[in-house]
């Protein structure tokens, strides 16, 4: 009898071990609760913007466009460029991985982002949802992350415009101290140089990026929000 009992334990152990390590994708309700769990309001992100980001993320995930749905990156251009207005959330583990500075395009505004475009040569940022691709090495900006705009008329020309996420010295706290605001890009969401590698390694390969501003035309016409 003892021998049979020990044999039964060896049979069941792999099943028990596997069940204990299984990670389930959070439900829509659980994702919504993350806003409260992570105290994102205290970090300047409104629940309205977070819920909009979740809406688009969930639609992209449902139609199979996200190969890496565990991560959600939100760039909130309604905030001053002096704020840490980029948030990278691990939805699966309910953790905030990064909260940092991010620059907007030079013709999008000075301290605040006001003007947006999907056209080449405008040096403006583009609103909406993107899907991350793989990191790349550029001759001018060095390591960067390719981002693909998926909203027609708002950001679907991002690849043609060479809109990427990259590191920049003007996207740092030191630049703010000297100039009163962040510097500006040619339309790229630029981040502090020391963060481009860990950020790109975290969110690469098909995760969701949402660039937000309370632009009435975008909010009314976005297919992912309506």
The domain limits of the chain are 25-221
- pTM score above 0.85: yes
Per-residue pLDDT tens digits for 14-28? 322 333 334 455 666
* Token pair in block for residue 114: 């006001």
Residues 150-182: b if buried by 16+ CB within 10 A, e if exposed: bbeebbbbbeebebbbbbbebbbeebbeeeebb
Q: How far apart are CA 64 and CA 215, in angstroms?
A: 27
Q: Can you say how many angstroms the Cα of residue 52 is from the centroid of all Cα atoms in its chain?
A: 13
Per-residue pLDDT tens digits for 130-183? 999 999 998 899 999 999 999 999 999 999 999 999 999 999 999 999 999 999
Per-residue pLDDT tens digits for 88-118? 999 999 999 999 999 999 999 999 999 999 9
Q: Helices marked H in the chain — which ranges?
A: 2-21, 28-37, 47-62, 173-179, 196-203, 216-221
Pick the CATH number of 25-221 from 2.40.440.10, 3.40.50.150, 1.10.1660.10, 3.30.420.40: 2.40.440.10
Q: How far apart are CA 111 and CA 89, in angstroms?
A: 25
């Amino acid at each position: 009898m003892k021998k049979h009992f020990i044999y039964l334990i060896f049979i069941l152990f792999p099943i028990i071990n596997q069940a204990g390590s299984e990670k389930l994708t959070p439900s829509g309700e659980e994702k919504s609760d993350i806003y409260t769990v992570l105290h994102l309001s205290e970090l300047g992100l409104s629940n309205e913007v977070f819920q909009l980001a979740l809406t688009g993320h969930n639609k992209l995930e449902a139609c199979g466009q996200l190969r890496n749905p565990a991560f959600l990156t939100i760039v909130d251009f309604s905030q001053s460029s002096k704020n840490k207005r980029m948030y990278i959330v691990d939805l699966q583990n309910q953790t905030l991985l990064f909260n940092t500075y991010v620059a907007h395009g030079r013709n999008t505004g000075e301290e605040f982002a006001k003007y947006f475009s999907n056209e080449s040569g405008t040096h403006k940022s583009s609103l909406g949802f993107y899907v991350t691709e793989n990191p790349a090495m550029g001759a001018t900006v060095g390591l960067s992350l390719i981002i693909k705009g998926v909203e027609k008329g708002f950001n679907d020309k991002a690849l043609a415009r060479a809109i990427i996420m990259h590191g920049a010295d003007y996207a740092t706290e030191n630049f703010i101290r000297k100039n009163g605001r962040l510097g500006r890009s040619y339309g790229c969401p630029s981040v502090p140089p020391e963060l481009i590698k860990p950020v790109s390694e975290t969110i690469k390969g098909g995760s969701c990026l949402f660039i937000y501003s309370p632009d009435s035309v975008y909010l009314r016409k976005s297919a992912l929000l309506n």
